[in-house]
Amino acid sequence: MKLLFIADPLEDFKIYKDSTYAMMQEAQSRGWSVAACELHDIHWQAGLGVSAQCKTIAITPDSIAAQAGFTAKNPWFAIKNEARIALKDFDAVLMRKDPPFDAEYLYATHVLQQAEREGARVLNKPQALRDHSEKLALMEFAQFAAPTLVARDMQVLRDFHAQHGDVIFKPLDGMGGAGIFRVGADGLNLGSVIEQLTHNGKQSIMAQRYLPAIAEGDKRVLLIGGQVLPYALARIPQGGEVRGNLAAGGKGVAMALTAREREVAEFLAPILYARGLHLVGLDMIGGYLTEINVTSPTCFVEITQQKGLNVAALMMDAVAQAVAFRA
């Protein structure tokens, strides 16, 4: 099996917690070929199709234990070969580029869709990536969400705050908790927050009723190959923060799904899988759906370490199944 991972620079991986690294390591342990590239390495030339300048790599044994010793000059991987390869020549291409979902990411989905037409197997499906904005996608399933508004009209946003009293405001293209603000019932800094996030009414944002259950964690529920994992990673805010994101300093605690979390996940899993979303991260607070993450869902390592469930192995099983099904 030959895999290509489209990812951020390998030198920037924090391999002690990186889900893409965990997948690469699992693939290598199965004897599969692992290659990597970045978005800028992908070319689409008329008449020649879609190809990428790829690095076929070998992961250094016990590289997690030696994390502190790795630098750009002394990386955690060795390059076995570097060449331009047509994406259709891989058994599967895994799109693992982190957000933001900006114009370049959008263009990449079109290029990857062309690669599909040429015979490439891309996970997650490029059209599905376009169709499921990580903030907006939850609005299709509003029956599972807390009161939520998407708007750029500043008065409409003010009215939503007046109705719900305690509100979270966040940009539609953010990640890792960046740009998230809570405005309480006193309305302190409401105008400033709305003006800043909407760029004075020029850009749409999301407003959601604040959920006090965030104190128990913003839970990441993983869907792999249309199946619901039995554990979620609760990302618990620390030090007075309202954000549970690990990138914002949240503490990750793996725990079994509640009945409500399983109900929501079991409803969504077959729908999203049928749309070509083989890996999805649902974010839930207090049983409410807050985001549907499809670009580069994480939390593999934390769940594996705390619960002994090899999440990367489940993902590679799903990749193998997708390849076999297509064949």
pLDDT at position 179 is 87
Q: What is the rounded CA–CA span in Å between residue 267 and residue 261?
A: 10
Q: What is the pLDDT along the chain (327 residues), one digit of tens a residue?
A: 999 999 999 999 999 899 999 999 999 999 999 999 999 999 999 999 999 999 999 998 765 555 656 666 668 999 999 999 999 999 999 999 988 788 899 999 999 999 999 999 999 999 999 999 888 999 999 999 999 999 999 999 999 999 999 999 999 987 767 789 999 999 999 999 999 999 999 999 999 999 999 999 999 999 999 999 999 999 998 766 666 566 667 789 999 999 999 999 999 999 999 999 999 999 999 999 999 999 999 999 999 999 999 999 999 999 999 999 875
pLDDT at position 292 is 96
pLDDT at position 261 is 98
301 — phi, psi (to 5°)?
-65, -45
For the domain bounded by 2-128, which CATH number is listed? Answer: 3.40.50.20
The residue whose two tokens read 């049928």 is: 274
Q: What is the rounded CA–CA span in Å between residue 171 and residue 180?
A: 7
Helices (H), 179-258: 190-198
Amino acid in the structure at residue 114: Q
Which letter, b or e, does each residue of 82-120 get, where b requires 16 or more Cβ atoms within 10 Å of its Cβ? eeebbbbebbbbbbbbebbbeeebeebbebbbebbeeeb
pLDDT at position 237 is 83
pLDDT at position 60 is 85
pLDDT at position 62 is 63
Which letter, b or e, does each residue of 121-157 get, where b requires 16 or more Cβ atoms within 10 Å of its Cβ? bbbbbbbbbebbbbbbbbeebeebbbebbbbbebeeb
Helices (H), 126-233: 126-131, 154-164, 190-198
pLDDT at position 226 is 98
| DSSP letter for each residue of 17-57 | T-HHHHHHHHHHHTT-EEEEE-GGGEEEETTTEEEEEEEEE
Domains 2-128 and 214-319 share a fold: no
For the domain bounded by 147-210, which CATH number is listed? Answer: 3.30.1490.20
Catalytically annotated residues = 135, 170, 220, 235, 243, 283, 291, 293
pLDDT at position 235 is 93
Contact present, 24 and 53 (Cβ < 8 Å)? no
CA atoms within 13 A on the CB side of 271: 11
Q: What is the rounded CA–CA span in Å between residue 4 and residue 91?
A: 8
Contact present, 11 and 72 (Cβ < 8 Å)? yes
Per-domain residue ranges of the chain: 2-128, 147-210, 214-319
- Tell me yes or no: is domain 214-319 CATH 3.30.470.20: yes
Q: Is 0.85 surpassed by the pTM of this model?
A: yes
CA dihedral (123, 293, 54, 105) in degrees, to 10, reads 110
The residue whose two tokens read 């609005």 is: 139
* Helix, strand and coil in the chain, % to nearest 5: 35, 30, 35
CB-count exposure of residue 241 (10 Å: 0-12, 13-18, 19+): middle
Nearest CA to 93 among 291, 256, 326? 326
pLDDT at position 287 is 96
pLDDT at position 175 is 73
